[in-house]
A and B are shown apart, each in its own frame.
Chain A
Amino acid sequence: MKGQIDKITDSEVLFEQEFKINGGDFINAGESSSKLKNILKEIGINTDIIRRLAIAAYEAEVNVVTYARHGIMRILIYPEKILLTIEDEGPGIGDIDQAMQPGYSTATEEIREMGFGAGMGLPNMKKNADIFNISSIVDKGTKLEITMNLNDKNA
């Protein structure tokens, strides 16, 4: 599947948009993902893909609000795929394998009061994405890449 994606990275971008996410803004957490969902609906993307991408985006947005100073969510739509990247400036993740373990969390009280911080965000993003990539540098930030294939026979 990854080989296939490599072949189409040069293809034309049909749509592009950026959303700014502010760290610590718990009240508005989810606003960018909501806007994203509405844009995808308007474009007429398959509803199952929209749903999975919106869930992954919301989990990622909540993480930026919780842990980072600020972040940028960027959506790129190609003929064959949608690429969602979430890049933040923040503490980063020291041990990504540990962070990907369901149930592992370093959540604050504030985020637990919102019903998050159960250590299920990153595994849920991975579950909903067709391709999920994460990279992080401690004291700099984290970058997530979520790819959804648009031409899957099952979609």
Chain B
Amino acid sequence: MKLKKIMEYLNCNCRVLCEDINLDIDIKFAIASDLMSDILATAKPGELLLTGLAHNSVIRTCEITGINAVIFVRNKQPSDDTIKLAQNCKIPVLLTDSTMFEACGILFSKGLKGIHIERAD
């Protein structure tokens, strides 16, 4: 699913726009959590992250795991520092008014899938 399409579905504002950011990138999967430990343990490259946590650690987590874009739900405002970091890492930062559940539900119903984690045992 193209990032542009996702923005349309969630009525997103884009907070990080620069020439290097490509809104045509194809998002294969999405993951949603406020817990970065969870993201670090499960994320796959090329994903979209939906989170309610607006902190530098979110951008770092995206950069380290290869997550392609981040959406802050409930219109959480990232600080200027966080925006700057995202700009340096070339990670699009999007804001939506939707709650986490609603945003996930909309994208899922439009066909965006999550990652199925196999049980370790």
Contacts and interface: CB of A to CB of B under 8 A. Distances in A.
Interface string A21-40: 00000010110011001000
B67 to A, nearest CB: 11
A59 B61 CA distance: 10
A20 interface: no
Contact of B63 (A27, A37, A119, A127): A37
What DSSP secondary structure best describes chain A's contact surface?
Answer: helix
A114 B64 contact: no
A124 B81 contact: no
A127 B40 CA distance: 11
A58 B37 contact: no
Interface string B49-83: 00101011110110111100000000000000100
A121 B38 CA distance: 10
Contact of B65 (A55, A116, A117, A120): A55
A140 interface: no
A144 interface: no
Given A59-B40, A120-B38, A113 B55 contact: yes
B77 to A, nearest CB: 16
Give the interface size class of chain A.
Answer: 20 to 34
Contacts, number: 69
Contact of B36 (A51, A57, A115, A119): A115
Interface of B: 33-41, 45, 51, 53, 55-58, 60-61, 63-66, 81, 89
A116 to B, nearest CB: 5
A58 B56 contact: no
Given A33-B64, A54-B64, A124 B41 contact: yes
A126 to B, nearest CB: 11
B81 A51 contact: no
Most buried by A among B41, B61, B64: B64
